Amino acid sequence: MASLPKSTTVVPILILLAASLCLALPSSKDPVPAAWPHQFHSILMMNYTGTLELIDLWYDWPNGRNFNIIRHQLGSVTYDLEWNNGTSFVYTLDSARECKTAHLEVGILRPDWLDGARYVGRRLVDGGFLCDVWEKADFITYYEDVDTNRPVHWVFYTGREAHVMTFEVGAVLEDAKWQAPVYCFDNKKTDTVPEAEAEAEYSITGASMDGGFLKGSNLLGFSL
């Protein structure tokens, strides 16, 4: 009998504990996006209100570098080479010999950059891929294939959208291709983007949202 007061207080506490666990269950069961493979090559079809581009994306986290090779439809090719020290080179390889250099506070996207994204459910996208969908910082909506966990599609808040056409895990572009042309290092020919201007350019595209988690990276093909 002496133990009665003890057990009457223990039972409500257990009920409260069980109730709070139940409340926590739905969100803890939400799928989380797969981290990006540390090295991959992807061909992306970009569409920004009908303007199309084809991007070769070479993501290379161990070597701290990321490359977007951007083909404008029936037009020029822009090379956007980013280093994890914050330096980006944006250049052409044609007779114009143009190169812009930007120095940004933040390097390339981390493989876990999608951590903390808010799960919004399942949707069919791009002609029939069943995807889990997340939103990150009101900035990007990201679609990942339910069966393969590969990215299929993402959309920036600006409406710029990427359709993932190929996704080759482990593919690495040879070192020689990562060399920016000599005119990127020739002060007479190099157009160094002042930091403020570069920041403005990125913020227009939304890259500087969410405490800068994407600032300085146009890895996802939104600043050009």
Cα 71 to its chain centre, rounded Å, is 19
Longest Cα pair distance anywhere in the chain, in angstroms?
95
Of 85 and 148, nearer to ligand NAG (C-beta) is 85
- Looking up tokens 């951007």 gives 70
Say whether residue 192 binds ligand NAG (CB under 6 A). no
Nearest Cα to Cα of residue 164 among 75, 37, 79, 63: 37
Cβ(54)–Cβ(71) below 8 Å: yes
Of 13-21, 31-39, 43-51, 213-221, the window that binds ligand NAG (rule: CB under 6 A) is: 43-51
Say whether residue 50 binds ligand NAG (CB under 6 A). yes
CA distances (Å), origin 96, targets 44, 99, 132, 206: 26, 9, 43, 29
Say whether residue 12 binds ligand NAG (CB under 6 A). no
Shortest gap between Cβ of 165 and ligand NAG (angstroms)? 12
Say whether residue 87 binds ligand NAG (CB under 6 A). yes
Of 33 and 216, nearer to ligand NAG (C-beta) is 216
List the one residue from 3, 7, 49, 73 that touches ligand NAG (CB under 6 A): 49
List the one residue from 16, 17, 18, 85 that touches ligand NAG (CB under 6 A): 85
Shortest gap between Cβ of 117 and ligand NAG (angstroms)? 23
Helix (H) or strand (E) holding 201: helix 195-204
Shortest gap between Cβ of 214 and ligand NAG (angstroms)? 19
CA angle 36, 42, 44 (to 5 degrees): 115
> How far, in Å, CA of 40 to CA of 164, rounded?
12
Say whether residue 101 binds ligand NAG (CB under 6 A). no
Binding site for ligand NAG (CB under 6 A): 47, 49-50, 52, 83, 85, 87, 103
